[in-house]
Amino acid sequence: MSEIKKVKNEYIKEQSNGLRGTIKQELHDSELNKFTKDNEQVLKFHGIYQQDDRDKRKELIKQKKDRLYSFMIRTKNPGGGNISPDQWEILDEISTNWANGTLRITTRECFQFHGIGKKNLWNAVNAMNSKLISSYGACGDINRNTVASPISDLRSSYYYDASYLATEIDKATLAKSKGYYEIWVDDEKYTTNINQKKIEKDDLYGENYLPRKFKIGVGHQSDNSIDVYTQDIGIIPIFSKDNELIGFNILVGGGLGSHHNQAQTFPRLADELGMCKNEDHVIKVVRAILMVQRNHGCRTNRKRARMKYLLEEWGVDKFRKEVERFLDFKLDKFIKFSIKEIDDFYGWHQQPDKNKFFCGIFIENGRIGDTKKIKLKTGLKEIIKKFNIETRLTATQDLILVNIDKNDVDAIKELFEKYNIDTHEKYSSIKKMSMACPALPTCSLAVAEAERYLPKLLEQLENMGYGNEDIKIRMSGCPNSCSRPPVSELGLIGATLGKYNIYLGGDHLGTRLNKLFMELVEDEELPKVISKLIDYWKDNRDSEIQRFGDFYNCQNFDNLKKNIIIQK
């Protein structure tokens, strides 16, 4: 029988010498403005993407010049994106000195830097690590940043610190290779002598790591900001009526990426696997699940390599049996539960310590920078340094200042006013519930705008009188769906430049997928189409409290197009 041909990425990982490749040599080769294709893939495990300015591609081609390459670095901040004041200072300096002047919060509670040149790449990564901020494992075929309900330790009604468990999971799933530290931290002399290979044995990942990226999240019934059903592994603590911890529900097989017009790919919500009695069991189950995906996930087609497709093929019962082969215990029965809300964290809130407060700040599409009107980056830098404030990042791309002394609240409010920083009150409801991915000009996968276009679309809707509608709108520049549009009430996914597919019927709480409504809608038509959808919902809903997504989940889309789209 002939050997099954794996995709090229698998051979790159095998031959990478423990995720080292020849990155070290190429990094210090001043004649190169980019990395070779193999090293480009290995760099992802180091939290680094090679990109180019797509706005300038055509002009450079005309001039017969090479692309304008730069790099994106993504940090890894497990457990709610905790950032100390010293860490914030170095992140701010990196963005100013070597990146494009902004910090961007991602939907996985970490930061991204954009626009870093190759000659400054080592400086930026090394500076991060000097303050114990890593990018190792933030990308690549590995468990990425483990997200959590970010302030579960600061709300007395939550009863469990999800951030702690997420951090422990991250420790237990970090790759064993020290190549990252040799290249970016210690700047150790590197050898390619085959007799001096430094490959460390990794009992979890092996030499091939996982077939594709992997995402884990620890949520809460009162806060589904992490969209727990979209994770490869979703974990929810379950409590008794007396608020005693019973155990942890485990969900498996979520994921939202797909490809247009390719039925073999699709978004999927996670299945109910079972329950763990304690944190130690959770760690063991997480590692066992990773091993099952390592052994059985598809390595011949990266479009089908996410764990969701293994669940779809096997079913959850077969998957559970395979997981339990790696355990010395059986999973308990999954306890049915319901998501109660999505916490937005906005504004000022007292912590359990009555002398401490936290303040949630809306950050449009996660982009922290300065404009003529709002000096967000400058203001946050001064506030965080002056008052020695810890920050948290959310999976909805927002920022939380935590453990603020009661005596400092008024002074911080004055600085908010000085820099024209509004926590949330001046922003419309429809804007606060929105998210967009970076898309163009940096992302190589984007086929349409997202972050640069969504604010314009929402401003048009606000001007038309729809700003105060509580509708969750999310936009992605491609069907990889990094901003999670498939679990929004109204999803907009780029189909080609200037055109979007519209999806309707997801629920507000992120527990139901939406469905394709219209294809290839031009961006200039979106305000009109969306306004008609809002009007039709308000005129025909069952009650004042029926949400937009719930209403459209029950509609016949063919009839809907005739009733509100085709008719003038």
Q: List active site positions.
A: 74, 144, 213, 215, 437, 443, 478, 482
Q: Count H helices, E strands: the chain?
A: 18, 19
Cα R_g (the chain), whole angstroms? 23
Would you state the structure tokens that stand for residue 35, as one six-digit string?
């990395």
Would you state the structure tokens that stand for residue 410, as one six-digit string?
């008024």
Would you state the structure tokens that stand for residue 336, as one six-digit string?
């049915």
Q: Which residues face 201 on adjacent strands?
A: none
Beta carbons within 8 Å of 79's beta carbon, 6+ residues apart: 146, 148, 162, 163, 164, 165, 166, 167, 170, 218
Query: Beta strand 147-148 with 216-218: parallel, antiparallel or unpaired?
Result: parallel
Question: Using CA atoms, how far apart are residues 565 and 559, in angstroms rounded to an integer?
Answer: 10
Question: Using CA atoms, how far apart are residues 516 and 160, in angstroms rounded to an integer?
Answer: 37
Token look-up 């979520």 returns: 254
Q: Is 246 helix (H, G, I), strand (E, B) or coil?
A: strand
Burial of 338 (0-12, 13-18, 19+ CB in 10 A): exposed
Name the residue among 467, 470, 503 with its Cα closest to residue 486: 503
First to last CA, the chain: 63
